[in-house]
Structure 1
C-alpha cells in the first residue's frame, strides 16, 4: 500500500529508521533513508507541481518513489535533489558518488548523461553549487559500468567459451574488482582513469574516461551495482546515494529487443538473446531494488 500526499501521518524514529508519509502543505519533505530536508525551487516546492501532480510517494518499505508525468520533470527533480543535498550537507570536501541501477532497457545511460549535463550547465551559468564560480570546468561526470566488461579474450579462456559469449552481460562476465578499485581510488585520491566500452570493437578501452578533482558529483550507472554478493556488495557500500530506475519487465525487454534488432541482429536471434540472457539478468537486477534510497519510475526514457 502506498502512502500519498493526501495522507497525514507522523514522522517517527524507530530502530534507526524513519517512517514517513505526506501531508499536503506548502512544505514538502524530500527525504532519503538517512535524512529529511526541505526543498525549494524558484517560487515552488519541489515535488508539488502547479497542477498538484503527485511525484513522490512512499511504499511500505519506506523507499521514496519519484514519479512524474514527463521525463523533463524527472530530470528537474533529480538535479534539484543533488544540488540541494550537496549544498546543505557540505559534501564538497569530497566526491558525492551516486549509484544508478536498473534492468537493461530502463534508461540508465540516458538519465545519467542528462542529469550530469544539466548539473554542469547550472554550475557554469548560475553558480548554483559553490560560492565561487566554476568556469569552463565540469563539476559532474558519469562513470558507466560498461567499461568493466571482461574482454572477449577472457571469455574465450573460460571453461565454456560459447556459453560465456552467449551470456555476456551477466554479472560473472564483468570485472567488479576493477570497478571497486576505481571507486576506491576516486574516494582516496579524488581522481581516476577508468575504462570505457567500444561497442564497435566489443571490448573495453583502458583509461578512456578521466574523472578529476573538480568532478564533485559522479553518477556511476550500471546493472548490478546493488547486488548483495562478492565485490558487488562492497561496490554498493561506497555510494552516498543509490537510485534505481523501476520499469516493468515486459517493457524493458521490448526495449532491449528493439535495441538488438537496431544493431543488426535478426529478429529471431534478438528474441533468443532476450529470453536466454537479458530476461534472467533483469530478474536478478530487479531483486536488488530494495537497496535503493530512491526509486525512479520510468517514463519512457530512451535507452
Structure 2
C-alpha cells in the first residue's frame, strides 16, 4: 500500500507500506513531512492502493493514519529539473545547520548503470553551490567562491588494468569490469573514514580514455559540508561493501526500469566505442578473430558488441544493484532527461 501526496511544486513523495492504512473522518489530516521538503498545499490529497485510486480526502475533515514497519519516501517530479531542485533544497537545509567546519554530511547515491547517477549528483551539487554562494554573498557583501558541496565518484576505485591482468582469468576479468569484484571497496572505505575523521581527503578519479584510476585527483576539503558519493554498489551487504554502506548519513537510490537503463547503457557503449581487446576476445573465445578484434577495438561502434556487453555484464550487475534498493532512505524515480 502506498500513501501519495502531490506538492505544489510538482514534486511527489510517497511512503510505501505493507501494513494497513486507516482513514478516519471529521478530523484534520496530519502529514509527516521529511526534512527539506515543503508542507503540502490545501488542495485535495489522494490515497493510492496498488494501482487503484481508492479515496480522495480534504485536509479540512480527514485524518490519515499509516501503520507501517518502515516507510521510505519516494521522490519524483514532472521533470528532472524539479527533482534536482527538491533534492538540493533538502541538502541545503542540512548544510545551514552544520556548525563544525570539519563536519561532513555524506550522502550515498546508488543505482544501476544508466540510471543517471553522475548527472543527478553533479546537478544537485551545482544547485547547492549556487544557492550557497548567493546566500553568503548577500550576508558578507562580497563574492564567495567556496563551494559547500562536492561529488565523489566511485569510479575512481576501479581496480587497475594490471590488477585484472594478474587474475586467474584475465579475459573474463576485463569482460566483467564493472562487477563488484573489479572494484576496491577497502580503499573506498579508507577514504570515507579519512573524510569523516580528518575533514578532508584526496580521492582517485577515473580516466575513461586511459581506462585506469587517477590517484589523488579529487580533493574534498574542509569547506565541503555536503559530499555526494555516487556509485553502483554502495549499498551492498557483503564484505567491505557493508562497511561502506554504514558510512553514509543518508542513502539515496535512483530507481529506473531495468530495460530503459540497459538501452541507455548500450547507446553509451556504441557512442563511446570503448571496447578493449580483452572484452572482444571474451565474446568470440578465439584467437582466430584477431583481425576482427582489432577492427572493433579501433572503431568500437559495433551494435552487436554493445548488446553482448550489456547482456553479459551490465544487466547482471544491474539486477544485483536493484536488490539493494531496500537499504535506501530515499528512493528517487528516474525521469528522462
Distance 1:22 1:94 in 2: 42
CA shift, 1:166, in A, is: 0.3
* 3-state secondary structure, aligned to 2:113: coil
Equivalent residue for 1:199?
A: 208
CA offset digits 1:168-226 (Å, max 9, x no partner)? 00000000000000000000100111000000000000011100000110000000000
Divergent runs of 4+, >6 A: 19-23, 49-54, 130-134
Q: What residue in structure 1 maps to residue 50 of structure 2?
A: none
Give the match's secondary structure for 1:271. Answer: helix
Q: Specify whether residues 52 and 149 from structure 1 end up closer, same or farther in structure 2 by C-alpha distance, changes over 3 A only.
A: same
1:73-222 to 2 correspondences below 5 Å: 73-88=82-97, 94-127=103-136, 135-222=144-231
Distance 2:83 2:157 in 1: 28
Residue 11 of structure 1 aligns with which residue?
A: none
Secondary structure in 2 matching 1:97: strand
Kept after mapping to 2: 8 A contact 1:86/1:92: no
Distance (whole Å) between structure 2 residues aligned to residue 20 and residue 178 of structure 1: 45
Q: CA deviation at 1:29?
A: 3.5
Corresponding position of 1:297: 333
Structure 1 position 3, deviation (Å):
1.3
Cα distance in 1 for partners of 2:211, 2:42 equals 44
TM-score, normalising length from structure 1?
Answer: 0.82
Q: Identify the residue that residue 273 of structure 1 maps to in structure 2.
A: 309
Check whether the contact 1:139–1:214 (CA below 8 A) recurs between aligned residues: yes
Q: Taking structure 1 as reference, are residues 116 and 50 closer, same or farther at Cα in structure 2, changes over 3 Å only?
A: farther
Q: Distance in 2 between matches of 1:102 and 1:2?
A: 22
Q: Which residue of 2 aligns with 1:247?
A: 256
TM-score w.r.t. structure 2 length? 0.74
Give unmatched runs, 5+ long, in structure 2: 7-19, 48-65, 274-299
- Paired positions, count: 276
Work out the CA distance in 1 between the residues paired with 2:42 and 2:83: 12
Q: Distance in 2 between matches of 1:148 and 1:59?
A: 41
Change (3 A) 1:28 1:274: same
Structure 1 residue 86: Cα displacement: 3.3
- Given that residues 3 and 21 in structure 1 are in contact (C-alpha distance below 8 angstroms), is that contact kept between their aligned partners in structure 2? no
- Cα–Cα, structure 1 residues 27 and 219, in superposed 2: closer, same or farther, change >3 Å? farther
Match of 2:232 in 1: 223
Tell me, in whole angstroms, the C-alpha distance in 2 between the residues paired with 1:50 and 1:180. 46
Tell me whether 1:286 sits opposite 2:289 in the alignment. no
Counterpart of 1:80 in 2: which secondary structure?
A: helix
8 Å CA contact retained: 1:192, 1:212: yes
Deviation string for 1:142-191 (max 9, x for gaps)?
Answer: 00000000000000000000000000000000000000000000001001
CA distance in 2, matches of 1:22, 1:106: 36
In 2: Cα distance, 1:246 partner to 1:21 partner: 28
| 1:27 Cα offset (Å) | 8.0
What secondary structure sits across from 1:118 in the alignment? Answer: helix
RMSD over equivalenced CA pairs, Å: 3.3
Deviation at 1:85?
2.8
Match of 1:2 in 2: 2
Q: 1:89 to 1:29 in 2, by over 3 A?
A: farther
- Taking structure 1 as reference, are residues 299 and 91 closer, same or farther at Cα in structure 2, changes over 3 Å only? farther
Structure 1 residue 49, shift from structure 2 partner: 11
